[in-house]
């Protein structure tokens, strides 16, 4: 199964393919097809980290699930969880152009300790998130486990591109758990 940077689930599909896991099924939705509160959590150009922290009323922690470097691109699949409860608040996969940052910021990204949105904000790096597609996702078994699900209910997410100083620096797929 090949993956391309034009796929609906890219880079999540690439990360799953590398691990030998079939990706979840997804279809593109129009924004008005996404039920609340998912729509308000997905339809914005702000950092998802900050949006999620405001929604759950707590900081979110990053747990790396898989990471690898491919040329100048760093891929990682992560779980963001509520610092107070430990409950998952997002699973995401990112492909980020690591050489777009200073050595210090590169080290922090590669350390996988801080959610990217918070790391960039705290480092004073301005960037823009541009949602490209909104998603309805039928989770695979692995995703169901990550999100503490018993049955494969529809989840919602988005595919976003990141820009810094008018240059594309990343691709992100962000999937929210049931709320």
pLDDT tens digits for range 49-96? 889 999 999 999 999 999 999 999 999 999 999 999 999 999 999 999
Residues in a beta bridge with 73: 70, 97
State which CATH number among 2.40.280.10, 3.20.20.10, 3.30.910.20, 3.40.1410.10 fits the domain covering 12-176: 3.40.1410.10
**Per-residue pLDDT reduced to its tens digit, 132-176:** 999 999 999 999 999 999 999 999 999 999 999 899 999 999 999
Whats the size of the chain, residue-wise? 179
**Per-residue pLDDT reduced to its tens digit, 105-130:** 999 999 999 999 899 989 999 898 89
Task: Report the alpha-carbon angle 129-130-132, nearest 5.
Answer: 140
pLDDT of 1 over the 50 cut: no
């Amino acid at each position: 199964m090949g993956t391309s940077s034009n796929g609906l689930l890219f880079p999540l599909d690439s990360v799953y393919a590398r691990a030998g896991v079939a990706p979840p099924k997804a279809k593109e939705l129009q924004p008005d097809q996404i039920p609340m509160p998912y729509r308000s959590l997905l339809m914005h150009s702000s950092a998802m980290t900050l949006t999620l922290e405001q929604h759950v009323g707590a900081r979110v922690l990053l747990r790396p699930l898989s990471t690898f470097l491919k040329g100048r691109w760093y891929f990682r699949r992560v779980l963001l969880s509520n610092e107070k409860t430990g409950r998952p608040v997002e699973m995401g996969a990112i492909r980020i152009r690591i050489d777009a940052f200073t050595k210090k910021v590169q080290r922090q990204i590669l350390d996988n300790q801080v959610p990217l949105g918070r790391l960039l904000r705290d480092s004073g790096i301005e960037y823009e998130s541009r949602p490209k597609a909104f998603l309805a996702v039928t989770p695979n078994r692995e995703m169901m486990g990550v999100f503490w699900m018993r049955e494969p209910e529809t989840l919602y997410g988005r595919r976003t591109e990141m820009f810094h100083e008018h240059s594309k620096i990343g691709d992100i797929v962000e999937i929210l758990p049931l709320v």
